[in-house]
């Protein structure tokens, strides 16, 4: 079996589509023990440890004692010592549930359990094939490994003497967080990978939860980065049923709740939810939240007031795409709102660029898509409160400030120093906008990129749609003069040697002479994507890049700020970004929306940028 979690899961990683519910007022949990396991997940381990620390803070505030077993020290011996006697166990790490794409047989020695370190000396390396990670499955948890089970499990998961299982406290709660298959979701690194079926999701939750229920526990799983909230509710809600604790969580959606009897545990149910996290699995619905156990039981094992049955299925939804608007009070707040709806805390990097001009943020957009982080906007000499609040929530590992000190002052650089969890705050800049774009590319993209996009550095509309296109294929956006290829851009293209080059916009914005000069920088084609106006150019970019678009982003083409934060998110899904008039839907855009036939449309900016009339026109066009 190959490693389960890849970088896309950061970028993952993710913000819940549902409304966050505040935790109840803390009650005493003195005497309760919370064990937090963070398995090795390679480059994601730092962000996973940060999520574990948030759980620890919530548990401590509720009065519990916390024991941690974090990679690189999350070996079986250390984890077993941590979880024995624990009232709540939280696992963050590689998932290996069943069914999965890697084998037709359920291998219970290695599935439905935890991915752990084989040794404390291998760092956070997470390769099962190289022997740095071991999947300790349900037989390890139950202490029923035998000599016929896997050698790695016998060596690293407690041996084969049938006595080395875990012994949590009676009535314990098990919380799986960010672990593949635990809430039912699958692995979708390409949009062509089929969505998880309801049966697959239910079976995954059934198998993952079976050893937990056998040990007398209750199973909860989430991919919403809210394990700390779940633990707080469990510790402070001793008289609340698990059914009600589940209903208070992110991701709970009565209309999508699926319920079945647990095949392996009398009186237990399996609940799964099909909802959407915009930054995961191309913005398409999957199973991000799950419960298994007796919904009428309370933490610690008492029987509470019976939980009502799940609601009846809702009537069929109207046809047409779901419509969503992401907006704030100003350009800074809009960029923050887009980030908040798209990224979970612990992103590897956040890009900060001036919101008063377009070139630096546009060039940063493609890099942000590749790196799995947002583009946020700042003022020239101050950090807007909306941006500061989003950085507080995001807890990025690193921050990159785009542009020189005349664009973003050194004072802003100093002001954001404390927001990067690694302490890494760096400025990426050149002597002008062309050199800055080249420097962004040089610090992000390796030679041999499949494609490089070229846009004019003198105006914004053509490059707005190009950010989504570049982000979708892992290429940079570089800037040019209308009639001359800048030396900085030429030098970066020489380094990149892209497989092909795409010019954004007509000959009036990037001349044929520049097109000809670009041919020397690639062994492939140099093509132009353009239309008779900015709206049609965005359509040309979409048709030339996206065969379909399950999620389509729409922004005003009259001004640039709202699209700056949306382009990187669109590129990461991937999906196109189209431009509209404030009060009307251009005919070229209408035709492209019909071709794309999206399931979801995200409007960027408030009604002053994209009016309600435009939203109504789109709904009428597509049958919403």
Q: Is 570 in contact with 359 (CB distance < 8 Å)?
A: no
Task: Considering only residues 359 and 217, tell me which one the structure prediction assigns the higher pLDDT.
Answer: 217
SS3 6: coil
Instruction: Output the pLDDT for position 9.
Output: 35
* pLDDT tier at 276, thresholds 50, 70, 90: confident
Instruction: Output the pLDDT for position 308.
Output: 53
Same-domain status, 255 and 353: no
Task: For residue 494, tell me if it sits in a domain.
Answer: yes
Same-domain status, 98 and 143: yes
Same-domain status, 391 and 503: yes
Indicate whether 5 pLDDT > 90.
no
Same-domain status, 380 and 260: no
Task: For residue 308, tell me if it sits in a domain.
Answer: no
Instruction: Output the pLDDT for position 475.
Output: 93
Instruction: Output the pLDDT for position 104.
Output: 81
Same-domain status, 245 and 365: no
What spatial distance separates the first Cα and last Cα of the chain, rounded to whole Å? 43
pLDDT tens, residue by residue, 490-522: 999 999 999 999 999 999 999 999 999 999 999
Instruction: Output the pLDDT for position 103.
Output: 79
C-alpha 530/C-alpha 462 separation (Å) is 8
Place of tokens 């583009």: 375
Query: What's the whole-number average pLDDT of the chain?
Result: 88
The residue segments making up the domain with residue 353 are 322-622
Q: Is 287 in contact with 272 (CB distance < 8 Å)?
A: yes
Same-domain status, 209 and 357: no
Instruction: Output the pLDDT for position 316.
Output: 52
Instruction: Output the pLDDT for position 102.
Output: 78
Instruction: Output the pLDDT for position 558.
Output: 85
Question: Is the preceding omega at residue 264 within 30 degrees of 0, hence cis?
Answer: no
Task: Considering only residues 218 and 282, tell me which one the structure prediction assigns the higher pLDDT.
Answer: 218
Instruction: Output the pLDDT for position 563.
Output: 83
Task: For residue 310, tell me if it sits in a domain.
Answer: no
Task: For residue 313, tell me if it sits in a domain.
Answer: no
User: Percent of the chain scored above 70 by pLDDT?
Assistant: 91
Tell which phi-psi region holds residue 158, choosing left (phi > 0), alpha (psi between -120 and 50) or beta: left
Same-domain status, 73 and 189: yes
Please count the structural domains in the chain. Answer: 2
Same-domain status, 109 and 183: yes
Task: For residue 298, tell me if it sits in a domain.
Answer: no
Same-domain status, 199 and 240: yes
Of 293, 310, 334, the position where a domain reaches its end is 293
Same-domain status, 330 and 282: no
Instruction: Output the pLDDT for position 307.
Output: 47
**Helices and strands of the chain, counted as H and E runs:** 19, 22
Strand order in the sheet with 88-92: 65-70, 33-38, 88-92, 173-177, 218-222, 286-293, 269-275, 257-261
Tokens encoding 152: 């790695």
Task: For residue 485, tell me if it sits in a domain.
Answer: yes
Mean pLDDT for 450-461 is: 89
Mean pLDDT for 601-613 is: 92
Angle, in degrees to the nearest 10, between helices 561-572 and 331-340: 20
Instruction: Output the pLDDT for position 254.
Output: 85
pLDDT tens, residue by residue, 163-181: 689 999 999 999 999 998 9
Mean pLDDT for 93-112 is: 88
Task: Considering only residues 210 and 148, tell me which one the structure prediction assigns the higher pLDDT.
Answer: 210
* pLDDT tier at 443, thresholds 50, 70, 90: very high
Instruction: Output the pLDDT for position 459.
Output: 84
pLDDT tens, residue by residue, 372-422: 899 999 999 999 999 999 999 999 999 999 999 999 999 999 999 999 999
* pLDDT tier at 4, thresholds 50, 70, 90: very low
Task: For residue 289, tell me if it sits in a domain.
Answer: yes
Same-domain status, 127 and 180: yes
Mean pLDDT for 107-115 is: 93
pTM of model > 0.85: no
Mean pLDDT for 285-313 is: 75
Indicate whether 305 pLDDT > 70.
no
| DSSP per-residue letters across 38-78 | E---GGGHHHHHHHHHHHHHHHHHTT-EEEEEETTS--HHH
* pLDDT tier at 7, thresholds 50, 70, 90: very low
Task: For residue 467, tell me if it sits in a domain.
Answer: yes
Same-domain status, 275 and 360: no
């Amino acid at each position: 079996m190959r490693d389960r979690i890849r970088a896309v899961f950061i970028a993952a990683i993710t913000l819940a589509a549902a409304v966050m519910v505040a935790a109840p007022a803390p009650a005493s949990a003195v005497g309760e023990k919370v064990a937090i396991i963070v398995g090795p997940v390679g480059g994601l381990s730092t962000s996973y440890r940060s999520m574990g620390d948030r759980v620890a803070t919530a548990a401590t505030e509720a009065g519990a004692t916390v024991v941690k077993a974090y990679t690189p020290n999350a070996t079986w011996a250390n984890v077993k010592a941590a979880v024995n006697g624990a009232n709540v166990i939280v696992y963050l790490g590689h998932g290996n549930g069943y069914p999965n794409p890697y084998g037709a047989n359920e291998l219970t020695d290695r599935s439905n359990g935890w991915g752990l370190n084989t040794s404390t000396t291998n760092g956070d390396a997470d390769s099962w094939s190289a022997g740095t990670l071991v999947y300790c499955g349900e037989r390890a948890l139950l202490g029923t490994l035998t000599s016929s089970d896997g050698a790695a499990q016998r060596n690293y998961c407690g041996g084969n003497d049938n006595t080395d299982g875990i012994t949590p406290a009676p009535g314990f709660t098990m919380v799986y967080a960010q672990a593949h298959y635990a809430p039912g979701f699958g692995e979708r690194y390409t949009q062509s990978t089929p969505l998880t079926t309801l049966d697959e999701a239910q079976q995954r939750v059934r198998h993952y939860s079976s050893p937990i229920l056998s040990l007398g526990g209750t199973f909860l799983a989430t991919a919403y980065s809210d394990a700390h909230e779940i633990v707080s509710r469990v510790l402070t809600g001793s008289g609340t049923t698990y059914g009600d604790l589940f209903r208070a969580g992110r991701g709970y959606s009565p209309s999508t709740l699926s319920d079945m009897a647990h095949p392996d545990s009398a009186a237990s149910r399996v609940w799964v939810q099909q909802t959407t996290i915009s930054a995961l699995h191309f913005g398409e619905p999957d199973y991000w939240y799950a419960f298994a156990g007796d919904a009428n039981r309370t933490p610690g094992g008492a029987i509470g007031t019976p939980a009502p049955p799940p609601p009846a299925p809702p009537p069929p939804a109207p046809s047409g795409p779901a419509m969503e608007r992401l907006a704030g009070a100003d350009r800074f707040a809009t960029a923050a709102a887009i980030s908040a709806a798209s990224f979970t805390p612990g992103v590897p990097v956040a890009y900060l660029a001036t919101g008063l001009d377009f070139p630096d943020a546009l060039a940063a957009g493609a890099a942000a898509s590749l790196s799995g982080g947002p583009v946020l906007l700042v003022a020239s000499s101050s950090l807007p409160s909306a941006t500061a609040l989003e950085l507080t929530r995001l807890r990025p590992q690193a921050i990159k400030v785009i542009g020189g000190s005349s664009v973003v002052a050194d004072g802003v650089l100093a002001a954001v120093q404390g927001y990067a969890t690694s302490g890494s705050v760096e400025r990426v800049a050149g002597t002008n906008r062309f050199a800055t774009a080249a420097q962004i590319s040089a610090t992000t993209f390796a030679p041999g990129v499949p494609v490089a996009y070229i846009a004019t550095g003198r105006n914004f509309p053509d490059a707005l749609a190009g950010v989504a296109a570049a982000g979708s294929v892992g290429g940079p956006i570089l800037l040019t003069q209308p009639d001359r290829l800048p030396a900085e851009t030429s030098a970066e293209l020489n380094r990149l040697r892209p497989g092909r080059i795409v010019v954004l916009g007509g000959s009036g914005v990037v001349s044929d002479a520049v097109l000809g000069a670009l041919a020397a920088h690639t062994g492939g084609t140099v093509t132009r994507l353009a239309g008779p106006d900015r709206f049609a150019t965005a359509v040309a970019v979409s048709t030339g890049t996206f065969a379909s678009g399950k999620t389509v982003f729409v922004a005003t083409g009259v001004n640039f700020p709202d699209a700056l934060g949306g382009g990187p998110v669109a590129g990461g899904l991937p999906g196109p970004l189209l431009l509209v008039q404030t009060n009307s839907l251009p005919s070229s855009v209408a035709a492209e929306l019909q071709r794309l036939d999206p399931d979801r449309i995200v409007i960027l900016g408030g009604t002053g940028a994209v009016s309600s009339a435009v939203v109504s026109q789109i709904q009428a066009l597509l049958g919403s």
